[in-house]
Chains A and B, each alone.
Chain A
Amino acid sequence: MSLRPALILPLLAALPGLAADDLSEKALSILDRRCFECHSHSAGKNKGGLVMDAAQGLTVGGDSGTALVAGKPEESLFLQRILSTDEDEMMPPKGDRLTAEEVATIKSWVSAGAKWPASRAAKPVSGKYLPGRINDEDRSWWAYRPVVRTEVPAPALPSTGSNPVDRFIDQRLTKEGLTPAPEAARTALIRRVTFDVTGLPPTPEEVEAFVKDAAPGAYERLVDRLLASRGFAERNARVWLDLVRYADSDGFRADDYRPTAWRFRDYVIRSLHANKPYDRFLQEQVAGDELFPGDPDALTGTGFLHHWIYEYNLRDARGQWTTILNDVTDTVGDALLGAGMQCARCHDHKFDPILQRDYFALRAFFSNILPVEDRAAWTKEEAETHARKLAVWEKKTAAIREEIAKIEQPYRDKATTRSVGMFPEDIQAMINKPAAERAPVEAQLAALAWRQVDYEFARLDRVIKGENRTRLDDLRKQLATFDAEKPEEPPYVLAVREPARTASPVTIPKKDAAIEPAFLSVLSKTVPAAPAVIPPAPEGVESSGRRAAFARWLTQPENPFTARLAMNRLWQQYFRRGLTPYASDFGRLGEPPSHPELLDWLASEFVRLGWDVKAMHRLVLTSAAYRRSSDHPDPSAGRTKDPLNVLVWRFQPQRLEAEQIRDALFAACGDLDAKKQGGEGALFSEPVRSVYTRAIRNNRDPLMDVFDAPEWFNSSSSRPVTTTPIQSLLLLNSPFMLKRGETMARRLRAELPAGTPEQHVARAYALLHARAPSPKETARGAAFIRANTKAAPEKAAATAAFNPEKIPNRDGQAARLDMDHRTPLVAAGTEGLDFSKGFTVEAVIVPRSVSDSGALRVIVAKGSGSSKESYWQLGITGMRSRRAPMVLALQAFGTLKDGSFSEAVHFSGLRIEMNKPYFVSAAVRYATPGSAGEVTFAVKDLSNDDEPLLVDKVASGLVALPDNPHPVSLGGRASSSTSGFHGALDDVRISSGALGTGDLLFTSEDPSPRTMGFWRFENKVGVMSDSSGRGHLLSMGMPAANKPGKTEARSDSKPGAPLSPADRALAAFCHAMLNGSEFLYVE
């Protein structure tokens, strides 16, 4: 217990003889000394919601209720807390207790009516900490007032046209004595608007067409073309996905991939492309399941409530659930209300009129959600067709599946008991209850906890061994023969539903009263706001209807937040700064709008046009304000009066966002794969639009990092622009950027095969800057190319055919092998390696697919695969493997124990999941007359440190592998075009002899004399080099030959072919241009 002697303070009788005012002076000075540090305006603290330096603060009280009842010491909570000896309650919580005399003084003061002393103001000047109060001044803050549509002003300048945006903007500029810049040059304009609307640069052909289009309305036609393009949806989806913290992974320690999250991303793109009315768009995401049951899009939209981070093994289910509901509430506050709700989670908001009660009243709309991943976003017809097909398949396979289930059942039971037993007892009780008896909140917690049981079910295979295992593999093979009849997997989405029509109660922590759903008190006539009216959900929808009520309120025309937020974000997107600066917080810490009438006019127009998103984009984009040049003929007035360019006297140059930079790097180099328009996320290294790559929260790409992409842990409404030396280093020296330069050089050479440096420079400017270079720029660029043709280094900077990739949870760089790669990496000089003492093969892999047949996807091999000579190959079995699908296996052809020369296949029981990083190894010990041979397989899931190194030993009849004349090949077998590994490959090591698990690469990276080859794909040492020091250089498809450097006159434009010195200089020029500010900015 505490060292502090716990004073038991008797309730002393009131001290006699003090004048009333003297008493109150004394009492307050005690409170000042002992309490104000944590409970006063002067200290800026109101712990527990209580302030004590104002009479009202004490009478209203804090989170626990009224603190002072004049005349009644026993009912005055603050005094009782001072007297308490309960460690959780007593005040002050730390330090010395109040002395008996001090307590007596306070008690007397309370008994005497708690008169406030004359020397102290009854109400401090700043009333912001007084709890639970919202006054008229609070209500009059612009963001809470109804939207008011004012008359569009008359033209203020001779140049002011009919666009209402310009009427408002020009009126203000005139008032401030500023003149706007003229319209930008057409080249600048098309580059600006194309990037802004689609996230991509215009092609030189598009630029030329626009520059030459002399007919009236050329610009408007351009805008219409862009708004109609898919690029509009792809670009604007990014903005929305940032706001709703969309990502493809769990974001906690295991950071598991979410295989169906992408359907939400596609839903957003689809909705924007179809110009879905904004109110409907919001309704679907907040309450699609309640408002539009049966609509696949609406169901997918509810993913908005499911993008929170998730920890796969947190036993504190209650804590995790609270975190999830907080996240949902905070995101709704930021993205949909523009209010800093999270401040009010622990106390009334200190600056804005948002009560802690409002926070929990908002949470109450969402507290009944049940996150699910098993709901399919499809139409009734699709569902019926699927059910019909499935019924046929189920009937045919019933016996097999039954037997599988029977074998698995004991293992499932064991896994269930173990997983459930790890939770606190109350959670266990909820899980063990029959589902029908669970209260809604119990159903929610049980479902959350049950995910951990499901996680174990998915890993049953590793514990099923022996006979059961053999039988199970056999049954699964039988089952697989019916695969053709099995309907495709339904389009599962991340969604929510609710467990019941009655909702789970919500309480403020440490308080008992249930909080009903209600809209913000500041919008209400009463404080706190009265509970919202909740119409019941439609018949048959097992849901509380609370979210539907919220969605309707959010999208009614009178809602003061929705349209304003959308229009301010639209303005921010095109002018870099919103009409009010914080796109997700309209509170007092921000600034009132620079053009309040314009913001309200836009908001009301948005509603009037039926929430037509594209119409509003068009309105703003076609304004003269947006079309202004960023060069002002006389910028001095603007710079003095409005340095931040809030009033739009010119256009503000702006750096592109991370995704635009990446997309532009591919587009300009001509290898952007525009065919990818949805579906499962691609790898970051693949040249598709960034919006289609996976957002793995804990494994960000360095390029995204240095250019300020958000982390997607919580709602993000704007991108900062930072410049760091790390960014410069990445642009200057990274293999990715060097390769971009080379790819662009190949493009220029392909387009202008006999081009002069001047012509190449001109083309580069057209591609990157959408303009022609000045004579000075042409001369400088051409001189650079000529001068450096001589200086060009011997080899190209990047190995063209090598695609680097970053393996999650692992340092350094790996090799990416695509599905259609046909050429393995061949290690020179490995034909004669000595395998006579047995051998060990190790690698780090991220497999992306296995074959549909049974064939191995080869990680490492030696030999042709011909049965006439020896070979071996380590790989992963295919879906229809005769023994087990998707396991690590070693196949060999060699001398067996019986003296025959034939095949030996070793299947491990170690199943490999797709898209996960693994360390894999196989150590081969040959059989001898005295002992059996053995292959020891080991697999370690690198995505989760909790996972042990799994080892499986398989008996082997191999006695020897006679020499064959083939080199070791990585990622495939040299002679086979179908065996190629698909995925990422790293740290491949071959050692002589069977290594024990303690010597494996996974635990020991020290060099060993037994190492025969070690390939790490690191840029530092050269991606194709051999780190074992034995010089077994890799090459694509054929052994590296030390050919003398014969210089070609002209290089092939195909990737992989060497560049000529002139083109290496051209590549360096392109690379420099890609480092340039003009490429990275729009003006």
Chain B
Amino acid sequence: MNDPRCHRYEKPRSRRDFLFNAGLGVGSMAFTDLLARDLRVPAAGTPKRDGIGSIAPRAKSVIFLFMEGGPSQMDLLDPKPLLQKLAGQRLPESFGKVITAMGEVGAPLLASKREWTRHAKTGQWFSDWIPHIGGCSEDIAVIRSCKSDGLNHSAGVCQMNTGSIIAGKPSLGSWVSYGIGSENRNLPDFVVMQDNQSSVVNGPRTWGSAFLPAVHQGVRIQGGTEPIPDLLTPDAVGPEMQRAKLDLIGELNRDYAGRFPDQSELSARLAGYEMAFRMQAEAPGVVDLNGETEATRKLYGLDDKTTETMGRLCLLSRRMVERGVRFVQIFHGAGSKWDAHAKIEDNHSKLCASMDKPVAGLLKDLKSRGLLDETLVVWGGEFGRTPMSEKGDGRDHNPTGFSMWMAGGGVKGGQTIGSTDELGLRAQETPLHVHDLHATILWLLGIDNMGLTYRYKGRPERPTQNEGEPYKKIVG
């Protein structure tokens, strides 16, 4: 048993009965009561781990908006006049050799067709694909100098989520869950959502906990009435039978745990059922948007078919961080939909249209509720795209220089960090590798990326694989 929170064992009788009734739908009163009692309860008994405590946390939670497939930096956040000028020509030799994923090495440079707006106050540039996000410029720190090592989606997504291009390391959300747990014990620490049914590259291991205890892995929340698999009592079992069964299971397991009082994992099994009941009670409420006002729904674009799906996910993320979920990750364009090898105009205009307003809505909503200060919002994909064309009207993968942005959680808005070269091919000033980005996110949460360790196979493992430094200037 590595997770001490599983050792928490509460007086089961009274509490479980209460939860049980709530779970069986005694009424919304019970729900409210339940939420009031459980919200913002510090994770009692969570031991302070190495690497926690030395850094003052600025953010309490993270919402990572992952644009899967790799959005184009030179069409969204990083305008390149030289690219417009040299469009149609080959990459000048001075830029050196490039390995591209699809191998169209000699393909001509592709101009950006975007109209650009420079924000009057901050000076940040946003293309006409993301006007709403551009409107939040004052809260956004654009990082134009991101770097990663994965040339293909699999390696890129793996690294942007786990730090390593090779599978087998825990995801960032899992590390955060391991490091600082969550303030809500009725919901998972780390929640994952996606905008369509396709599989995120590499499947669920993208949010897996690898060698960290399974309790830290991301839990995929789906739409509909059963957001978590097997959450609800199946119809064919029915409430009475379920109750009888649970009582019997409780008795069987208490009998067994009683025989080995020093074997904490046996009481952890009881606690596991306890938390399952609590989740059963709270999770459906989180995904029920009926209580949201019309204005809020509009803000997120729930009234428009184009933005409805992402709007719902963004609104759900706000509801989750409100309830203390530590790390929320949304995969937008799940299944590499941003991967515009051809027809980037078509591809990106659709994806941006579905994402721009909801994401801006999220920032505004968080801000108006006073949550933005403590919620770090991260936007970006596994890599960016090449200034060279592919198939005439698309762009290939580019891990050597691309843009992401962060907002809230202590980040100073309105700044533009780093740069790429004149064509947007490689990061130039203030290059921030994935490890640095992860270290920065952890640092904002008050986690020292070199201090937090987990012993696996007898060796100390760290969230950023012994690399990476937080970019502290991000707080201004």
Contact = CB atoms under 8 A, between A and B. Distances in A.
Query: Does B bind A?
Result: yes
B203 A723 contact: no
A942 B6 CA distance: 38
B303 interface: no
Given A311-B152, A705-B214, A1068-B244, A738 B197 contact: no
A735 B248 CA distance: 19
A946 B429 CA distance: 34
Interface size class of A (residues with CB under 8 A): 35 or more
A372 to B, nearest CB: 23
B168 A713 contact: yes
B351 interface: no
Contacts of B224: 1020
B229 A810 contact: no
B219 A726 contact: yes
B253 A1077 contact: yes
Contacts of A687: none
A735 B217 CA distance: 22
Contacts of A252: 152, 154-155, 202
Contact of A730 (B229, B251, B278): B229
Q: Which of B199, B240, B428, B457 has the most CB of A within 10 A?
A: B457
Interface string A1008-1033: 00000000000110100000000000
Interface stretch (A315-323, A542-550, A924-932): A315-323
A727 B272 CA distance: 8
Given A316-B99, A809-B203, A1072 B245 contact: yes
A582 B458 contact: yes
Interface stretch (B128-136, B204-212, B359-367, B406-414): B204-212
Given A729-B228, A780-B251, A811-B222, A643 B237 contact: no
Contacts of A720: 2, 211, 213-214
A1 B167 CA distance: 35
B164 to A, nearest CB: 10
Given A720-B2, A732-B273, A319 B197 contact: no
Contacts, number: 253
Contacts of B2: 720, 722
Given A793-B241, A809-B199, A811-B197, A725 B272 contact: yes
Interface in A237-257: 251-253, 255
Interface stretch (A695-703, A817-825, A977-985): A695-703
Contact of A728 (B101, B233, B272): B272
B168 A253 contact: no
Given A708-B214, A1076-B256, A797 B236 contact: yes
Contacts of A516: none
Interface stretch (A162-170, A196-204, A419-427, A888-896): A419-427
A424 B208 CA distance: 33
A471 interface: no
Interface in A704-751: 705-706, 708, 711, 713-714, 717, 720-730, 732-735, 738
B455 A1072 contact: no
A585 B457 contact: yes
B260 interface: yes
Given A653-B260, A791-B240, A1072-B249, A729 B103 contact: no
B151 A253 contact: no
Nearest to B98: A424
A45 to B, nearest CB: 9
B158 to A, nearest CB: 9
B469 to A, nearest CB: 9
Nearest to B232: A733
Contact of A809 (B1, B198, B214): B198
B167 A713 contact: yes
B172 interface: no
A86 interface: no
Contacts of A677: none
Contacts of B276: 725-726, 728-729, 732
B460 A589 contact: yes
* Main SS class of interface, A: loop
A733 B230 contact: yes
B423 to A, nearest CB: 14
Given A780-B251, A1068-B241, A1077-B266, A722 B1 contact: yes
B201 interface: yes
Contact of B198 (A319, A343, A945, A1081): A945
Given A653-B260, A780-B248, A1076-B252, A793 B203 contact: no
B286 interface: no
A360 interface: no
A722 B208 CA distance: 14
A703 to B, nearest CB: 11
Contacts of B165: 323
Contacts of A752: none
Interface size class of B (residues with CB under 8 A): 35 or more
B263 interface: yes
B138 interface: no
Given A643-B262, A732-B230, A1073 B252 contact: yes
A706 B272 CA distance: 12
Interface string A772-811: 0000000010001001100111011110000000001111
A315 B457 contact: no
Nearest to B429: A3
Nearest to B185: A725
Contact of A788 (B230, B241, B252): B241
Contacts of B205: 697-698, 700, 711
B166 interface: yes
A590 interface: yes
Interface string B118-150: 000000000000000000000000000000000
Interface in B254-276: 256-257, 259-260, 262-263, 265-266, 268-269, 271-273, 275-276
A1040 to B, nearest CB: 16
A1071 B457 contact: no
B215 interface: yes
A629 B3 CA distance: 28
Nearest to A796: B236
B279 interface: yes
Nearest to B208: A711
Interface in A1-50: 1-3
A251 B168 CA distance: 11
B226 interface: yes
A700 B205 CA distance: 9
A1005 interface: yes
Given A728-B275, A1068-B241, 20 more contacts: A1-B428, A3-B429, A323-B165, A422-B103, A587-B458, A653-B266, A698-B205, A700-B205, A727-B214, A729-B230, A729-B231, A732-B249, A732-B273, A733-B230, A733-B231, A733-B237, A788-B240, A797-B237, A1005-B197, A1081-B266
13 contacts: A313-B152, A717-B457, A723-B271, A723-B272, A730-B229, A733-B234, A738-B236, A788-B240, A793-B235, A793-B241, A1069-B248, A1072-B245, A1075-B252
The 10 A-B pairs of least Cβ separation, nearest first, read A422-B103, A582-B458, A585-B458, A253-B154, A809-B199, A698-B203, A725-B275, A733-B230, A728-B276, A713-B168
